[in-house]
Structure 1
Amino acid sequence: MWKHFKFDPTSANFSYRTDEKFNEFDTLLRCEWDRAVTQGLFTFQIDHHAKYRILDKGNLNYIIQLNPSRYEKRRTPYPFENVNTPFDKNKFNFNKIKNEEILFSLDNEQDKDKYLIIINNSPIRPYHVLLVPNRELEQPQILTIDCILFGLQFVVSSAHPYILVGFNSLCGYASMNHLHLHGLYLPERLYLQTITCNLFHEKSNCYILSLYDTQAFVFEIRNLNEFEKIARYVCKITDYLSLQNIAHNMAIVKGESFSSSTDALRIFIWFRQSVVNGTMFERCNFACIELSGFMPLQYEEIFNELTESGLREDLNKIVLPTDVQQRIKEDVKHLLDNSFL
């Protein structure tokens, strides 16, 4: 049977400005992940020294990594056509994994096994895990408040300054339709942790990331008491995007507060063009991790030659038409306004 880690609110860590990388939570995750490696549960041998470099000729400092095995040996993603697709128990899902693939659960005293942390058997980096909430409910890949709370607890349980939690909708490069998040450690600071964003909706303290054509709504959380309130705002937006069949991605990172000198969690929600039937592009494919500033690449030639301007060019290919983006922003403002009625 897998282990349990009790979530401790008094040890919540919001800091991205620290030399400390690992605490008891991180040590457990790493030890259990290493145990899964020795049991041969991964689809390929993980390279702890994979080549990576930083595109530092612009202002994003994108991290790119050469990772051909991830593309060549991972499970083939299902060819989804709609963001809203019912759960299908006949297809692969997390109720079919081996118990050994479960690393541990992140619990409080009332909810053992509610929040499972399992291996990603085709990882982007060492210690890349999946966060599976309430797996027995067989929920499709549509964000819930409870799922977001799991992601927030995961991030603040870790001491690592560059830890990331991400979500991909169907048609936003989710490879399976059973609710889950990605969790991984990144080797350098991400641009999302410090990038300036413009205020979008004052009452909800929602911001907009408009550094490039593909935009994102952004929230910050400065203390544990804000977890549920912000999770509800995020869900209002992602529920709307799902109902409108608009592909989206989410990321949670530690970073600077937009409105004070304290550290805060930052939550980004991108709205973007759908990728239908799992189409992959030769150079850059943007899911939550890639949108956050870390781009795994399949081919060494592209790894050696890619520039930030080239990456931006690919990123702008997933932008929605201007009128659609404007409609989404107007609708989201209306949704957030109604939160205060």
Structure 2
Amino acid sequence: MQGQATCRTGQHAGPGNMQDRSTCRTRSTCRTGQHAGPVNMQGSDTPTNIICTRHCKMSAHCARACSATGVEKNETGITVREQTELHVCNSATHEFVYSHRDFIRSGVRWLDKRRVGSISDCGAGQPLSRFDLTLRLGWQEKEKLGFFRYHLGDLQTKILPGPHGFVAQLNIQRGKERRKPQEIQSIKQSFNPNQFNFNKIQPGEILFEIRKQNKHGPSTEPQFTVSNGHSISGTEAAIDPAGPAYLDDGVTHTKTLVVINVSPLEFGHCLIIPEPSLCLPQVLTRDVVRIGIETVLLSSHPGFRVGFNSLGAFASVNHLHLHGYYVDHMLRIESARTEPLCPGKAFHLLPDSPAGFLFYTEGECLGTLIQNICKVTDCLVEKNIAHNLFVTRGRHPGTPLHSGPSRPGIRVIIWPRVSCFGAKEEAAFNVALCELAGHLPFKNRKDFDRITEAEVTEIVQKYLLPEKEFSMLQSQLMHVLQE
């Protein structure tokens, strides 16, 4: 490969190496990074990434939810609908097993000479991790097999002029082809088995099952349960021994699927779905926060992000899930100015628009951090306040903006916002997790070509809490964390 063209898969990094063009799309940067250098195997003594296949069983809660619809059951006690629609739960899936030794705790950085607002090609400053390679190569294979609703290609991208450095991308097909969002009436809306959920996806959409290895040996079967047949909240999960099995050192026995998003925002766009057969509604639990943070720690690419949209915050499916995807550009949120609120809790204010709250970690004391994050999100749920959460590599709070390419820690940002129930969508873009973070997927060329930073800020501001309400909430959250 010569000049600026390098392969999208990363199997042929380095100029002049184009031995297998069938696996490449010419682009300025390697997309999977398989051959960007030696694989980062900090946990080389851990099991190989694809080691076995497993099956899961439909939960009692999901069975009760389906039976409530009145669908006739067969002699096994499972409805015909369950047998046909829950085929994902009974399909063998590959396993990606990891431990804390696989976390990339240092060396994550953008390539030198990177800066917010630059449109030149991005890339990670170190070889991609085992997790990155598994996700990126698997995603590309699903693309070849035609599991996506449209061919993503290389999205036209530009940086809007101005201090925010918004990353704008033209993705017309997603606006046209994505599944129609479900009708949401409440942030606490119950799971409905008659609506689309992730037990109804094609088995071929599954990339892998991800599981953390117990430091005392291989994990047992999943022990993620629900109380009295109902989905438990994040708070209940944090205090109820029957909740998600999370220990302070990060050991858990929860089954989590990583599947492709068939209407992708960007390369590698996937959904992270904890224990799909439990039919949990779209409310954060301690365990799903854990897996969101840990997947970012597993990636050596600074552009891998994970996020969550609550109901009323443009979540389109009421079945618990996170979004994960790569954006090969710096976002301002990675180093945005912060103000300490509860320093002992790693809790900070993001004062600049869009105003929100931030937790920071460099991988230490994850159990305590996750408990505090869930205290905040549970408080928002109880107050019926919609919210978006975004997990990204970032700079330490207090570090000056544009202070260099290094990304030593993890920033977890929470934006409380105005609830949108049945609201008309914006013509240019919806205001959800990625838009609040500064990544703007546009639905049409007219807005993509003409919009300004000021117009983007005006659209986003409509979905944020009024200043007085935000200030009151800030005081309440500080009190909750200090209890």
Q: Normalised by the size of structure 1, how large is the TM-score?
A: 0.93
Match of 1:59 in 2: 163
Higher relative contact order (CA 8 A, sep 6+): 1
2:308 and 2:322 in contact (8 A); partners too: yes
Counting only pairs closer than 5 Å after superposition, residues 1-341 of structure 1 correspond to structure 2 as: 1-14=92-105, 15-17=108-110, 18-20=124-126, 22-47=128-153, 49-55=154-160, 57-107=161-211, 108=213, 109-110=218-219, 114-212=255-353, 214-223=354-363, 225-258=364-397, 263-277=408-422, 279-338=424-483
Separation (CA, whole Å) in 2 of partners of 1:195 and 1:81: 33
Distance across 2 between alignment mates of 1:259 and 1:67:
35
Give the drift of 1:203: 2.7
Contact 1:171 / 1:278 at 8 angstroms: preserved in 2?
no
CA distance in 2, matches of 1:42, 1:203: 45
Q: Deviations over 1:192-246 (max 9, x none)?
A: 111121112233121011112x4211000112x3211111111111111111111
Q: How many residues in Structure 1 have an aligned counterpart in Structure 2?
A: 334
Question: How many Å separate the matches in 2 of 1:34 and 1:176?
Answer: 24
Quote the Cα distance in structure 2 between the aligned partners of 1:70 and 1:270.
24
Letter in 2 for 1:22: L
- CA–CA distance in structure 1, aligned partners of residues 450 and 127 of structure 2: 32
Comparing both structures, which one devotes a greater share of its residues to helix? 1
Moved over 3 A (4+): 259-262
Query: RMSD over aligned Cα, in angstroms?
Result: 1.7
Structure whose CA Rg is larger: 2
Identity %: 31
Q: Distance in 2 between matches of 1:259 and 1:204?
A: 15
Aligned-partner SS, 1:100: helix
Secondary structure of 2:345's partner?
coil
Higher strand share: 1
Deviation at 1:2, TM superposition (A): 2.4
Matches of 2:289 and 2:359 in 1, distance apart? 13
User: Comparing 123-132 with 8-17, which one deviates more in the overlay?
Assistant: 8-17
Whole-angstrom distance in 1 between the partners of 2:417 and 2:220:
35
| Structure 1 gaps, min length 5 | none
Matched to 1:208, the amino acid is L
Structure 2, gaps ≥5 residues long: 1-91, 111-123, 222-253, 400-405
CA contact (8 A) 1:70 1:122 kept: yes
